[in-house]
């Protein structure tokens, strides 16, 4: 069902506070899969009671209203009006108690918002506006109240009955029924409400907080998954300890629940003390989950736990402020993962993700600032911009203020706003006031969309030994905003000699000690920095650790890139230099391919890779990152009109060339790393596996790869190695690929999560034939279009991660995908909208493909009763 049927645009500037305080909310659920009865009792107190009687406005969607009473008087249809999702009671007294009874129908709720069914249990998802599908209530984040919840159900079908807070009481009822009561003492907005009812199994542990509170930790899963919760539990305990150590934040209740479900639109949800998780981010065993899965679980468990303070205790005033909780909490989970694993590797992963997922958003029809100014459907704004770019902006506060200053700001933020719903301005003000600084210009990051471009030029004067570096910044116009202003950019840099030594950096006019690493602040459109006593023309190491989320333009020579790859102590710059060199080499060959010329392998690239692979000191995970070629989508972003087939051909050519020229090195590494040792979960073991498997992927291009992959499939004791080997076989069309896939299928056919990987491996195979495979796989018994994980694994991966499949020249990929969007929309508009976004950048392609994508967008938009979610995406794309 649509959230906002009129397609009405909601503006941030129109925010007004809710005129009422809701003093308490008592809920009683009579649970049934077909029909659940919800009784709600809420006490209203007018904030300003001098005003006289005021209207009470409640939100509701798809509710069957049984009764409505105000101060014991039953209201009839003359006493209130219902208009779409709004129910208005006119002229209510300044203090009143409202009681409602409604019926809802979980079994037919396929949108997975509100109360719905997953396997053997019922559960809720209320963010952003799902609570209105449960009962009439002011469903907006600035209305916070305390909840008392009683759940009543059949004891055999629903032995477990959970809600937020602490359990206060329970009892049995006649006819095999029972009830449980919960009370959450912390006021919260409706989007943090949670309920779970059903037959689930439990893994339990505990954590003692620094002040001595013993917290019971409970993970509920379906019975067959009990042996896959260990890593999630360990991650939760690590997260609780880390938040005390690093942010001085302690948990505040006696119990913490995590419930894992197969049917979830998102990754996980931070409902107070009742986190609901996609199974993907809970369940792991070495033979079922890859190293990436393990890292993902640690990160998401941390993320939802950290929300307890940044999101729950202090929440958002309105949904425009989503980045207040998400940008900040993503920053916190990134730091957690960096402290648990390798900081350098984590940074590179985060930066790559931002470039691949967020930069294109800025360049597309849905461009928006991290704090949007308007939306039609808020579910469309759970974006990489709000989350990932939001986190880099929090990281810039951290860079500018330092760890101590940042933590001072956090402390003041909680002192001022604990228990409140606030705005991004309040966060900025706390950072300013705690550090006695002015961040007025920095605030532009909240209102300006787009990826800034930083163009660096330089001049070296050998006579005066002065080196002048000029930085010009500009942000290209975006679909939502034409005028752009200069931004505050933390600009971290070093200067290297040709031999790789870091030079002491003294700006003209400075005295005292000179550091080799400097943090400069750029605020203007153009700024110059002149360094003195520079003995030779240096190699600039720019925006170290990616100190600002910008596209960096500097005309590096191959020699300079080689120096950075070999010597830079900053892992990001070193990795980025390798990416630049690979990107240049691939795009050059792409151009030759377009011009009908034979492609050539760049000898400097071979030497650079040889150097990387010969580095005995570096973390193997960093080496793996450095020799991973840029994705085809990233390469596509670097050219004006995307040449889908040319990029693919050029990238394959370079891969093959590197593989054959460096075969001996790849083989040596593979053999050393493939030491037959039993699986270990440690970061060091993961790093070794990542390098081993990237070496294998190169070796697949040459003689020995196939045999190595086959024996790796046979001997593997973990999913990382198994998947890497089977993927390798699929990519080279090995005769063994089908057997490996069918063995995998027979082994895991009953395992929903592992079967996702089986779908992904096939959906991602390059080439125009894959669409037929994907269409066939939709008939597989393990596939269901109603399950978001399956949709993402098969349809999402094909459309978003398989450029030569989705963009097949005959348009078959586009037609197939548009059909899926249309099929999904009536079932699950949120998922349909996310899938529709695959067409967002249609204007970047050649005329033939543009015309075909436009046709499909128009076909989607002409569907009758299309949801607001998809309408907003498609209308923006076509605009
Ligand atoms: Zn979050």
Q: pLDDT tens digits for 331-343?
A: 999 999 999 999 9
Are 22 and 145 in contact by the 8 Å Cβ rule? The answer is yes
Side-chain half-sphere of 833: how many Cα atoms within 13 Å? 27
Express each pLDDT in 454-493 by its tens digit: 999 999 999 999 999 999 999 999 999 999 999 999 999 9
Beta strands (DSSP E) in 572-629 are none
Q: In the prediction, which pLDDT does 24 show?
A: 98
pLDDT, mean over the chain = 97
Are 836 and 821 in contact by the 8 Å Cβ rule? The answer is yes
Name the DSSP letter for residue 50: G
Q: In the prediction, which pLDDT does 338 show?
A: 98
Give the separation between CA 235 and CA 229, rounded to whole angstroms.
10
Q: In the prediction, which pLDDT does 623 show?
A: 96
Give the separation between CA 729 and CA 735, rounded to whole angstroms.
8
Displacement of CA 404 from its chain's centroid (Å): 27
Q: In the prediction, which pLDDT does 4 show?
A: 43
Q: In the prediction, which pLDDT does 554 show?
A: 98
pTM of the model: 0.98
Determine which helix (DSSP H) or strand (DSSP E) holds 354, and give its type and residue range.
none
Q: Which of 823, 822, 829 is closest to 872 using CA atoms?
A: 829
Burial 614-646 (b: 16+ CB within 10 A, else e): eeeeebbbbbbbbbbbbbbbbbbbeeeebbbbb
Tell me the CA–centroid distance for residue 392 and ligand 1, in Å.
15
What mean pLDDT comes out for the span 366-391? Answer: 97
Name the DSSP letter for residue 499: T
Give the separation between CA 696 and CA 878, rounded to whole angstroms.
43
Give the separation between CA 504 and CA 511, rounded to whole angstroms.
12
Structure tokens at 804: 């030569």
Tell me the CA–centroid distance for residue 267 and ligand 1, in Å.
9
The answer, yes or no, to whether residue 171 has pLDDT greater than 80, is yes
- Residue 781: strand, helix, or coil: coil
The answer, yes or no, to whether residue 549 has pLDDT greater than 50, is yes
Q: Which distant-in-sequence residues (6+ apart) come within 8 Å of 269 by Cβ?
A: 125, 126, 127, 194, 275, 276, 277, 304
Tell me the CA–centroid distance for residue 235 and ligand 1, in Å.
17
Cα 576-293-676 angle, rounded to 5 deg: 90
Place of tokens 């972003």: 637
Q: In the prediction, which pLDDT does 3 show?
A: 40
Tell me the H-state helices in 631-768.
Answer: 632-637, 644-661, 663-673, 683-699, 705-715, 719-731, 737-748, 752-763
Tell me the CA–centroid distance for residue 370 and ligand 1, in Å.
14
Percent of the chain at pLDDT above 70? 99
Give the separation between CA 518 and CA 646, rounded to whole angstroms.
41
Cα 191-195-198 angle, rounded to 5 deg: 155
Structure tokens at 326: 């998400």
Backbone angles phi, psi at 509, to 5 degrees: 90, -5
Q: In the prediction, which pLDDT does 51 show?
A: 77
Tell me the CA–centroid distance for residue 608 and ligand 1, in Å.
40
Tell me the CA–centroid distance for residue 625 and ligand 1, in Å.
27
Displacement of CA 205 from its chain's centroid (Å): 28
Tell me the H-state helices in 193-248.
Answer: 230-247
**Pick from 46-50, 286-290, 689-693: least confident:** 46-50
Q: Which of 873, 829, 350 is closest to 571 using CA atoms?
A: 350
Name the DSSP letter for residue 791: I
Percent of the chain at pLDDT above 90? 98
Express each pLDDT in 772-788 by its tens digit: 999 999 999 999 999 99
Tell me the CA–centroid distance for residue 315 and ligand 1, in Å.
11
Tell me the CA–centroid distance for residue 481 and ligand 1, in Å.
27
Give the separation between CA 126 and CA 306, rounded to whole angstroms.
19
Express each pLDDT in 687-709 by its tens digit: 999 999 999 999 999 988 999 99
Tell me the CA–centroid distance for residue 279 and ligand 1, in Å.
16
Are 250 and 210 in contact by the 8 Å Cβ rule? The answer is yes
Are 385 and 362 in contact by the 8 Å Cβ rule? The answer is yes
In order of 59, 83, 316, 822, 859, the CA distances from 4 in angstroms are: 11, 12, 21, 19, 22
Tell me the CA–centroid distance for residue 307 and ligand 1, in Å.
7
Give the separation between CA 503 and CA 288, rounded to whole angstroms.
49
Q: Which of 292, 288, 291 is closest to 751 using CA atoms?
A: 288
- Residue 547: strand, helix, or coil: coil
What mean pLDDT comes out for the span 260-268? Answer: 97
Are 472 and 554 in contact by the 8 Å Cβ rule? The answer is no
Q: Which distant-in-sequence residues (6+ apart) come within 8 Å of 701 by Cβ?
A: 655, 656, 659, 660, 732
Tell me the CA–centroid distance for residue 475 and ligand 1, in Å.
28
What mean pLDDT comes out for the span 489-509? Answer: 97
Beta strands (DSSP E) in 515-673 are 518-522, 526-531, 539-542, 551-553
User: Mind telling me the catalytic residues?
Assistant: 304
Tell me the CA–centroid distance for residue 326 and ligand 1, in Å.
5
Please return the burial class of 116, using the count of CB atoms within 10 Å of its CB with bins 0-12, 13-18 and 19+: buried
Q: In the prediction, which pLDDT does 424 show?
A: 98
Neighbour order of strands in the sheet with 466-474: 526-531, 466-474, 453-461, 551-553
Tell me the H-state helices in 307-368.
Answer: 322-340, 343-353, 359-362
Q: In the prediction, which pLDDT does 49 show?
A: 78
Whether omega for the bond prior to residue 128 falls within 30 degrees of 0, making it cis, is yes
Give the separation between CA 224 and CA 201, rounded to whole angstroms.
9
pLDDT confidence tier of residue 318, bands split at 50, 70 and 90 = very high
Tell me the CA–centroid distance for residue 304 and ligand 1, in Å.
6
Tell me the CA–centroid distance for residue 329 and ligand 1, in Å.
6
Are 424 and 318 in contact by the 8 Å Cβ rule? The answer is no
Give the separation between CA 162 and CA 184, rounded to whole angstroms.
12
Neighbours of ion ligand 1 (CB under 5 A): 326
Tell me the CA–centroid distance for residue 330 and ligand 1, in Å.
7
Number of H helices, E strands in the chain: 29, 31
Give the separation between CA 86 and CA 510, rounded to whole angstroms.
64
Tell me the CA–centroid distance for residue 320 and ligand 1, in Å.
14
Are 556 and 576 in contact by the 8 Å Cβ rule? The answer is no
Place of tokens 């219902």: 82
Structure tokens at 368: 């928006």
Give the separation between CA 565 and CA 627, rounded to whole angstroms.
11
Express each pLDDT in 67-126 by its tens digit: 999 999 999 989 999 999 999 999 999 999 999 999 999 999 999 999 999 999 999 999
Give the separation between CA 762 and CA 797, rounded to whole angstroms.
10
Q: What are the residues facing 466 on neighbouring strands?
A: 461
Q: What are the residues facing 455 on neighbouring strands?
A: 472, 553
Tell me the CA–centroid distance for residue 746 and ligand 1, in Å.
36
- Residue 173: strand, helix, or coil: strand
Structure tokens at 806: 């989705």
Tell me the CA–centroid distance for residue 518 and ligand 1, in Å.
33
Backbone angles phi, psi at 745, to 5 degrees: -60, -45
Tell me the CA–centroid distance for residue 270 and ligand 1, in Å.
7
Q: In the prediction, which pLDDT does 703 show?
A: 82
Structure tokens at 437: 């600084």
Tell me the CA–centroid distance for residue 321 and ligand 1, in Å.
13
Express each pLDDT in 193-214 by its tens digit: 999 999 999 999 999 999 999 9
Tell me the CA–centroid distance for residue 426 and ligand 1, in Å.
19
Give the separation between CA 783 and CA 781, rounded to whole angstroms.
5
Tell me the CA–centroid distance for residue 78 and ligand 1, in Å.
42
Q: In the prediction, which pLDDT does 132 show?
A: 98
- Residue 718: strand, helix, or coil: coil
Q: What are the residues facing 40 on neighbouring strands?
A: 27, 100
The answer, yes or no, to whether residue 274 has pLDDT greater than 70, is yes
Tell me the CA–centroid distance for residue 357 and ligand 1, in Å.
17
The answer, yes or no, to whether residue 280 has pLDDT greater than 90, is yes
């Amino acid at each position: 069902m649509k959230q906002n049927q009129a397609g009405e645009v909601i503006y941030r500037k129109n925010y007004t506070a809710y005129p009422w305080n809701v003093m308490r909310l008592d809920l009683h659920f009579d649970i049934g899969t077909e029909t659940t009865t919800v009784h709600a009792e809420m006490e209203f107190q007018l904030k300003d009671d001098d005003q006289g009687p005021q209207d009470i406005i409640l939100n509701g969607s798809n509710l069957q209203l049984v009764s409505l009473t105000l101060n014991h008087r039953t209201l009839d249809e003359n006493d209130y009006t219902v208009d779409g999702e709004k129910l208005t009671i006119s002229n209510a007294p300044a203090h009143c108690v409202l009681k409602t009874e409604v019926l809802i129908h979980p079994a037919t709720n396929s949108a997975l918002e509100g109360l719905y069914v997953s396997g053997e249990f019922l559960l809720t998802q209320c963010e952003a506006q799902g609570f209105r599908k449960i009962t009439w209530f002011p469903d907006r984040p600035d209305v916070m109240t305390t909840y008392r919840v009683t759940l009543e159900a059949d004891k055999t079908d629903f032995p477990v009955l959970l809600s937020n807070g602490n359990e206060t009481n329970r009892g049995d009822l006649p006819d095999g029924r029972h009830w449980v009561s919960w009370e959450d003492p912390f006021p919260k907005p409706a989007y943090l409400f949670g309920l779970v009812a059903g037959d689930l199994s439990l893994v339990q542990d505990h954590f003692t907080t620094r002040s001595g509170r013993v917290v019971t930790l409970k993970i509920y899963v379906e019975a067959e998954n009990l042996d896959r919760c260990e890593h999630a539990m360990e991650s939760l305990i690590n997260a609780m300890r880390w938040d005390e150590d690093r942010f001085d934040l302690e948990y505040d209740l006696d119990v913490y629940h995590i419930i894992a479900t197969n049917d979830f639109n998102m990754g996980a949800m931070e409902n107070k003390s009742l986190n609901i998780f996609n199974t993907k981010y809970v369940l792991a065993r070495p033979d079922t989950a890859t190293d990436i899965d393990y890292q993902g679980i640690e990160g998401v468990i941390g993320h939802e736990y950290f929300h307890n303070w940044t999101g729950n205790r202090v929440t958002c005033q309105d949904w425009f402020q989503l980045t207040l909780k998400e940008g900040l909490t993503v920053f916190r989970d990134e730091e957690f993962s960096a402290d648990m694993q390798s900081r350098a590797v984590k940074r590179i992963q985060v930066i790559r993700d931002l470039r691949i997922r967020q930069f294109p958003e800025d360049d597309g029809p849905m461009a928006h600032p991290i704090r949007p100014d308007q939306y039609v459907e808020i579910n469309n704004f759970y974006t990489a911009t709000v989350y990932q770019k939001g986190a880099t902006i929090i990281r810039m506060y951290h860079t500018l203020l330092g760890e101590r200053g940042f933590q001072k700001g956090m402390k003041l933020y909680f002192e001022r706003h604990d228990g409140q719903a606030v705005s991004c301005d309040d966060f900025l003000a706390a950072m300013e006031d705690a550090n006695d600084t002015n961040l007025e210009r920095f605030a532009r990051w909240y209102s300006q969309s787009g990826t800034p471009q930083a163009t660096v030029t330089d001049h070296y004067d050998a006579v005066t030994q002065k080196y002048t570096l000029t930085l010009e910044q500009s942000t290209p116009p975006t679909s939502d905003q034409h005028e752009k202003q200069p931004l505050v950019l933390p600009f971290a840099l070093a200067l290297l000699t040709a031999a790789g030594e870091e030079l002491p950096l003294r700006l003209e006019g400075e005295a005292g000690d000179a550091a080799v690493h400097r943090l400069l602040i750029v605020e203007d459109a153009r700024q110059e920095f002149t360094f003195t006593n520079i003995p030779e023309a240096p190699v600039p190491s720019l925006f170290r650790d990616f100190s600002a989320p910008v596209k960096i333009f500097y005309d590096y020579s191959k020699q300079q890139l080689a120096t950075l790859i070999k010597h830079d102590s900053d892992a990001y710059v070193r990795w980025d230099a390798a990416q630049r060199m690979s990107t240049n080499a691939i795009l050059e060959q792409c151009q030759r391919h377009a011009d009908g010329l034979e492609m050539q392998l760049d000898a400097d690239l071979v030497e650079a890779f040889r150097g990387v692979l010969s580095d005995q000191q570096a973390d193997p995970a960093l080496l793996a990152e450095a020799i991973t070629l840029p994705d085809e989508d990233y390469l596509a972003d670097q050219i004006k009109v995307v040449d889908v087939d040319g990029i693919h051909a050029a990238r394959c050519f370079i891969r093959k060339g590197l593989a054959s020229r460096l075969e001996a090195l790849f083989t040596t590494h593979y053999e050393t790393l493939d030491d037959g040792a039993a699986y270990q979960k440690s970061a060091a073991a993961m790093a070794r596996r990542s390098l081993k498997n990237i070496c294998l992927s190169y070796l697949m291009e040459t003689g020995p790869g196939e045999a190595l992959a086959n024996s790796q499939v046979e001997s593997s004791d973990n999913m990382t190695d198994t998947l890497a080997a089977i993927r390798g076989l699929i990519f080279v069309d090995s005769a063994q690929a089908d057997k490996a896939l069918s063995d995998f299928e027979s082994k895991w056919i009953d395992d929903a999560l592992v079967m996702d990987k089986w779908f992904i491996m096939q959906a991602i195979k390059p080439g125009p034939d894959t669409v037929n495979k994907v269409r066939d796989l939709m008939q597989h018994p393990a596939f269901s279009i109603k399950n978001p994980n399956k949709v993402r694994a098969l349809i999402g991966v094909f459309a978003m991660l398989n450029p030569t499949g989705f963009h097949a020249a005959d348009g078959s990929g586009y037609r197939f995908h548009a059909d899926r969007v249309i099929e999904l929309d009536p079932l699950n508009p949120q998922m349909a909208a996310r899938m529709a976004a695959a067409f967002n950048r249609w204007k970047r392609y050649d005329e033939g493909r543009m015309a075909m994508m436009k046709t499909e967008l128009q076909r989607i938009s002409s569907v009758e009763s299309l949801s607001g979610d998809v309408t907003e995406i498609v209308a923006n794309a076509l605009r």
